Structure 1
Amino acid sequence: MRKSKLVAASLSTIVLTVVLAGCSATAFSDTAAETAAVGALGFDATQNAEQIMAANDTEPTASTDFDYNVAQAVSIALQGSTAIASGAGALIEGSTITITTAGTYVLGGTLDDGQIVVDTADEGIVRLVLDGADISSSTTAAIHFAAADEAQIALASGSANSLSDTSAYADDAEAGAALSSSTDLLIWGDGSLTVTGNANDAIASSDGLTIDSGSITVDAVDDGIRGKDYLVIQGGDVTVTAGGDGLKADNEDEETRGFIAITAGIVVVDAAGDGVQAETDLVVSGGSLAVVSGGGAAVLADPDVSSKGLKSGDFTVLEGASMTVDSSDDAVHSDGAIHLASGDITLATGDDGFHAEGTAYISDGTLLITQSAEGIEGQAVTISGGFIDVTASDDGINVSSADAPVDEEADRAAAEAEQAVASTNKLLITGGEILIDSGSDGIDVNGVARIEGGTIVVTGTTDSRNGALDTDSTFTISGGTLLAAGSSAMAEAPDAESEQATVSFTFDTDLPADTVVTLVDSAGNAVAAFTTLKTTQSIVFSSDVVVAGASYDAYTDGTVGDIILGGFAHAGDYSVATLVSTAIGGEDPAGSVSGDRSGARSGTSSGTDADDRPERRAPGGDEPTDR
């Protein structure tokens, strides 16, 4: 993995990283940006699409590339097993047409079993204009740019064109795709192009590949569209069906290459492997993208095949696009960092929804994870804005390191406990609206957690081995609103030393789904109301209205006021409700109440004394996971 271009090259970031490396897990930066910049693995996750693209090695396509003089073009009429050219620059030998001179060539007709080869040392553009061209080959590629200064495929307005290749290439073949290029290739125009890759890829460039416009449909045995150095889609209507990866850039030798950028257009991908796979960076900053990978979330992922929706080796930035992913493996995955800066993202996956080995950073946009094992996961997770709705069979948000697996459960628990103290694992929430429905822990942090703002509504499991909130080190709250409902055995609240107080309730009798719970202060004012999503044994609530040391009552069977998020409202009517529990707001931070995660809570309900609760598991001692 190449991290150098992703780390902010500023003295402040370098100093901050060094300082934190020598601190305990309680050290926490003061802003979302600083936390994301330190992040796991040193990635500056606050970078946007423009910054990432500027760090990569490509040049914008000149407007002059999208024009040509028809009068100066050479016309090549394809006639079954041969062709006729109207001018110089094309050598025709049976069904093989070799372009030897830079210029524009207009191809139309059918070439039943032949090939167009571009092989010239001239400077300038070789532009092949497809105008009703149907080219197939039983032995090699339909079109191969073997050598050219610049290469273009232009699709004539209103034309329909098709390319297909052999079902088996020789081991020493230069080409390996139906449309193959050994130099940077640009595809544009107002026509359509259908490409069938019968042996390997449909469209492939061993340099860079840019799609500007046109209606392009590809079907490939292996990868659909591949640009080794880069793949840029800046317009058009692109549909890909692939037995391997859908869209791919795979230069692993140069840190400024191997990237994919989708900036405009309509892109639809259905791939058996990864939907979109970038060796370095992946930027989706405009247009719409729909991806199905590995058969979708309902299909059990093949452990021997990577079938992620979107995958990057360094950095993924999602900014301003409309995107859906349905994947058997992770929906969005990066070996480095992910930044959701804006846009509308909907994910369904058989594994993780939004997974970064380093930092997962969400600053704005809408993220809907409708199905996942774990919803959002990273060694550092920072949320400063946006709307987030997570449905997960396991943890809703998970903060953990990708350390080497341990065989014994005891060793695992010890290793994770040590990791929580010494690692950079951090959750920081400073804003946004976050709604979580989980089958295990709602928020699981194997490290430090801090909430400074936002509105967070968590419904965790009723499984007594897990809780709506689960942290292994300090957990503080200084702003925002948090409501977490779940089991009682592992109920947890922010530390009593927090700047903002918390009140915690447990209930003698389980509250069924669709129960309205109203929390009322000692003056009779409803401070919160919530409609339970599933069976609930405990509720933890923190906001600026909770007063440390004050008494609060919980009533059922009232009504909820104007809903803010996920069944939660700031007020409710409890005039005909039933009192079910009473609790005390958390101690003031000036008090000497311990924030020990082993069992201290900021409030104790009537009917259940804190000392009578089951002993909490060792840090990290929940169900074994390889996440």
Structure 2
Amino acid sequence: DNGQLAVDSDADGDVVLLLAGVDITNAAGAPINVRNADNTIITLVDGTENRLTDGAEYIFPDAETDEPDAALFSDDDLTINGGGTLIVTANYNHGIVGKDDLAIDLTPGSGAIIVTAVNDGIKGRDSLLVQGGALTIDAGGDGMQSNNDEDADKGVVAINGGDITITAAEDGIQAETRLTVSGGDLTLTTGGGSTVTAADSAKGLKAGVDVTITGGTIVVDAADDAVHANASITISGGVLQLASGDDGVHADATLQIDGGTIVVSKSYEGLESAVIVINAGDIQVSASDDGINVAGGADGSAVNGRPGQNQFAASGDYRLTINGGNITVDALGDGLDANGWIEMTGGVVIVNGPTANNNGALDYDGGFSISGGTLVAAGSAGMAQAPDTTSTQNSLLYTFAAVQPAGTLVHIEDAAGNTLLTFTPAHDFQSIVLSSPALADGATYTVYTGGTADGAADDGLYTGAYTPGTLVESFAAAGVVTQAGAQVGGFRGRSPGGGPGGQPPSGPPPGGAERP
């Protein structure tokens, strides 16, 4: 019950330990304790199962001593490789700790580490690198962590491969400075999942400075933010499937998306940062409040930034820039919310916005300039806004006389019968904003509701032939921003000076006449 494999070597070079079926239990200390070694390599021999188990209390020589603090502990660099299995049961504190650099490079398909720990699962103080193998972690603290806060070049976590499953009471993977994911399959559940209110920080991926994701498959169910950085987040590849009790992806300073697939299936706010730049990627966001929010300030790594807890400024030079990508937002609050400015030069953006009149599918304080791409935003009418008159691409804000039920087909075509829009909003709606290169100043357009459309919808958009339902209104587009339909109280569109933009409603009042 008090077995221990201890390493104490002053020699330079590697100390290699081959584990080929060991079962070490120590009720009062660490089963493996590397006190001193230049670099220790633990190889899990192919086909073997190895077990390390400690007790709930360690016995130290004096009150000042608090290490080792893990069932597998190294005071220096540590590498774990091989094709066997290591099962660590840590009843005292952490599972595996390397106080310098910790690298895990197991043989894919056979190498495995299983950790159950009352506190953190796997820690590399200076750095933690995972190259391959299967890692399963059940932790009462953080799942994986690098926590050196004294050197800006340390406190780093890099996930380049592996099949990683983490269930953690606190953060899933936490880096004091930088966290990068370039490969692997990650499944993280933190704080009990997105339906739970966590008492402590329970983020999925978290970094004190930057998060960079270039590849891999990442599935997160987090009570707190699914992906969080105190400075910036860059996503250029990979597949992210995120469910969050707070923000899907949150960066205090900058969030840049250059590619990949991001699905935020549950969140309070989907994407949030002071500056958001979307250049490419497939993005789907579902939010109980704002879908995409740009605002200033920081919530740091505060516990569970639930509604109203993020200390973001109300307005300022905060920007949402959309240069490309396919973006779908389903929000009960504002769809695109900028406490500053929005600029769109390309891409496809679809917003299924709020039903309450105190929110809007589009909500900006500074301005919204659009020069390219396709924008479709449906929502309530009370605070509806369109892009402003600084735009070089034309926009339409159409307001219905009454709220239309969710799933109502809306069709807009020109005088020649060419389709401008065929769309079924996911929520009840009274306004639709459309901006498209096909929308022409001076042209006459007709709005229909109901009817049928051939083919299947892609995020509510149809491209097949339309069979008409009820003719609502015909109107002439006039200027950069056309407002048509019913007069509804509230704010609709902005000019650079902050006043209402666009044109007054035109054409006959909404009616129910059938198409000739």
Q: Which residue of the other structure, out of 552, 555, 560, is the alignment partner of 2:453?
A: 560
Q: Which residue of 1 aligns with 2:187?
A: 290
Q: 8 Å contact 1:366–1:388 — kept in the other structure?
A: yes
What is the one-letter code of the residue matched to 1:345? L
What is the one-letter code of the residue matched to 1:337? S
User: What's the offset of the Cα at 1:514?
Assistant: 1.3
Q: Which residue of 2 aligns with 1:207?
A: 100
Q: CA distance change for structure 1 residues 607 and 117 in 2, over 3 Å: closer, same or farther?
A: farther
What is the one-letter code of the residue matched to 1:225? I
Q: Which residue of the other structure, out of 124, 131, 136, is the alignment partner of 1:227?
A: 124
Q: CA distance change for structure 1 residues 585 and 301 in 2, over 3 Å: closer, same or farther?
A: farther
Q: In the aligned structure 2, how far is the partner of 1:277 from the partner of 1:287?
A: 17
Matching of residue 458 in structure 1 with residue 351 in structure 2 = yes
Q: Which residue of 2 aligns with 1:577?
A: 469
What is the one-letter code of the residue matched to 1:566? D
User: What's the offset of the Cα at 1:288?
Assistant: 0.5
Cα offsets for 1:212-253 (capped at 9, x unmatched): 002000000000000000110000100000000000000011
Q: Which residue of 2 aligns with 1:427?
A: 320
Q: 8 Å contact 2:446–2:475 — kept in the other structure?
A: yes
Cα offsets for 1:386-432 (capped at 9, x unmatched): 10010000000000011699xxxxxxxxx956x42xx3x11100111
In the TM superposition, what are the counterparts of 1:577-616 in structure 2 within 5 Å? 577-585=469-477, 587-588=479-480, 594-601=495-502, 604=505
Cα offsets for 1:249-272 (capped at 9, x unmatched): 000111111010110110000000
Q: Which residue of 1 aligns with 2:305?
A: none
Matching of residue 272 in structure 1 with residue 160 in structure 2 = no
Q: In the aligned structure 1, how far is the partner of 2:454 from the partner of 2:496?
A: 33
Q: In the aligned structure 2, how far is the partner of 1:597 from the partner of 1:353?
A: 31
In the TM superposition, what are the counterparts of 1:136-175 in structure 2 within 5 Å? 136-169=25-58, 170=60, 171=63, 172-175=65-68
Q: 8 Å contact 2:473–2:509 — kept in the other structure?
A: no
What residue ranges of structure 1 are gaps of 5+ in the alignment?
Answer: 1-111, 406-414, 610-627
Q: In the aligned structure 2, how far is the partner of 1:572 from the partner of 1:473?
A: 39
Higher RCO, Cα 8 Å, sep 6+: 1
Q: Which residue of the other structure, out of 293, 297, 310, is the alignment partner of 1:402?
A: 297
Q: 8 Å contact 1:457–1:565 — kept in the other structure?
A: no
Q: Which residue of 1 aligns with 2:13?
A: 124
User: What's the offset of the Cα at 1:606?
Assistant: 5.6
What is the one-letter code of the residue matched to 1:229? D
Q: CA distance change for structure 1 residues 560 and 155 in 2, over 3 Å: closer, same or farther?
A: same
Q: CA distance change for structure 1 residues 511 and 585 in 2, over 3 Å: closer, same or farther?
A: same
User: What's the offset of the Cα at 1:603?
Assistant: 6.5
Q: Which residue of the other structure, out of 267, 280, 283, is the alignment partner of 1:388?
A: 283
Q: 8 Å contact 1:240–1:246 — kept in the other structure?
A: yes
Q: Which residue of the other structure, out of 145, 149, 155, is the alignment partner of 1:252?
A: 149
What is the one-letter code of the residue matched to 2:24? I
What SS class does the counterpart of residue 219 from structure 1 fall into?
A: strand
Q: Which residue of the other structure, out of 375, 381, 397, is the alignment partner of 1:482?
A: 375
What residue ranges of structure 2 are gaps of 5+ in the alignment?
Answer: 301-311, 482-493, 511-516
Q: CA distance change for structure 1 residues 573 and 374 in 2, over 3 Å: closer, same or farther?
A: same
Q: CA distance change for structure 1 residues 282 and 606 in 2, over 3 Å: closer, same or farther?
A: farther
Q: Which residue of 2 aligns with 1:135?
A: 24
User: What's the offset of the Cα at 1:531?
Assistant: 1.0
Q: In the aligned structure 1, how far is the partner of 2:299 from the partner of 2:176?
A: 23
In the TM superposition, what are the counterparts of 1:162-561 in structure 2 within 5 Å? 162-169=51-58, 170=60, 171=63, 172-213=65-106, 214-302=111-199, 305-402=200-297, 419-420=315-316, 423=317, 425-561=318-454
What SS class does the counterpart of residue 534 from structure 1 fall into?
A: coil
What SS class does the counterpart of residue 79 from structure 2 fall into?
A: strand
Q: In the aligned structure 2, how far is the partner of 1:402 from the partner of 1:201?
A: 34
What is the one-letter code of the residue matched to 2:330? D
User: What's the offset of the Cα at 1:153?
Assistant: 0.8
Q: In the aligned structure 1, how far is the partner of 2:389 from the partner of 2:353?
A: 22
What SS class does the counterpart of residue 263 from structure 2 fall into?
A: strand
What SS class does the counterpart of residue 498 from structure 1 fall into?
A: coil
Q: 8 Å contact 2:480–2:502 — kept in the other structure?
A: no
Q: In the aligned structure 1, how far is the partner of 2:177 from the partner of 2:320?
A: 25
Q: Which moved more, 1:598-607 or 1:330-339?
A: 598-607
The two structures have a TM-score, normalised by structure 1, of: 0.74
Q: 8 Å contact 1:337–1:360 — kept in the other structure?
A: yes
Q: CA distance change for structure 1 residues 184 and 607 in 2, over 3 Å: closer, same or farther?
A: farther
Q: In the aligned structure 1, how far is the partner of 2:344 from the partner of 2:498?
A: 16
Q: In the aligned structure 1, how far is the partner of 2:504 from the partner of 2:422?
A: 18
Considering only CA atoms, is the larger Rg found in Structure 1 or Structure 2? 1
Q: Which residue of 2 aligns with 1:59?
A: none
Q: 8 Å contact 1:581–1:605 — kept in the other structure?
A: no
Q: 8 Å contact 1:505–1:603 — kept in the other structure?
A: no
Q: In the aligned structure 2, how far is the partner of 1:167 from the partner of 1:154?
A: 27
Q: In the aligned structure 1, how far is the partner of 2:288 from the partner of 2:115?
A: 35
Q: 8 Å contact 1:320–1:341 — kept in the other structure?
A: yes
Cα offsets for 1:165-201 (capped at 9, x unmatched): 2312344133000000011100000100001111110
What is the one-letter code of the residue matched to 1:311? K
User: What's the offset of the Cα at 1:551?
Assistant: 3.0
Q: CA distance change for structure 1 residues 284 and 404 in 2, over 3 Å: closer, same or farther?
A: closer
Cα offsets for 1:497-538 (capped at 9, x unmatched): 311001111001211111110011233322110012111100
User: What's the offset of the Cα at 1:301?
Assistant: 2.2
User: What's the offset of the Cα at 1:561?
Assistant: 4.7
What is the one-letter code of the residue matched to 2:28? T
Greater strand proportion: 2
Q: CA distance change for structure 1 residues 403 and 597 in 2, over 3 Å: closer, same or farther?
A: farther
Q: 8 Å contact 1:503–1:583 — kept in the other structure?
A: no
What is the one-letter code of the residue matched to 1:599? P
User: What's the offset of the Cα at 1:124?
Assistant: 1.7
Q: CA distance change for structure 1 residues 602 and 443 in 2, over 3 Å: closer, same or farther?
A: farther
Q: In the aligned structure 1, how far is the partner of 2:504 from the partner of 2:463?
A: 20
What SS class does the counterpart of residue 240 from structure 1 fall into?
A: strand
Cα offsets for 1:347-387 (capped at 9, x unmatched): 00110001100111111110000000000001001111110
Q: Which residue of 2 aligns with 1:99?
A: none
What is the one-letter code of the residue matched to 1:126? V
Q: In the aligned structure 2, how far is the partner of 1:596 from the partner of 1:396?
A: 26
Q: CA distance change for structure 1 residues 498 and 586 in 2, over 3 Å: closer, same or farther?
A: farther
Q: In the aligned structure 1, how far is the partner of 2:273 from the partner of 2:478?
A: 30
Q: In the aligned structure 2, how far is the partner of 1:368 from the partner of 1:230?
A: 29
Q: In the aligned structure 2, how far is the partner of 1:367 from the partner of 1:557?
A: 32
What is the one-letter code of the residue matched to 2:374? T
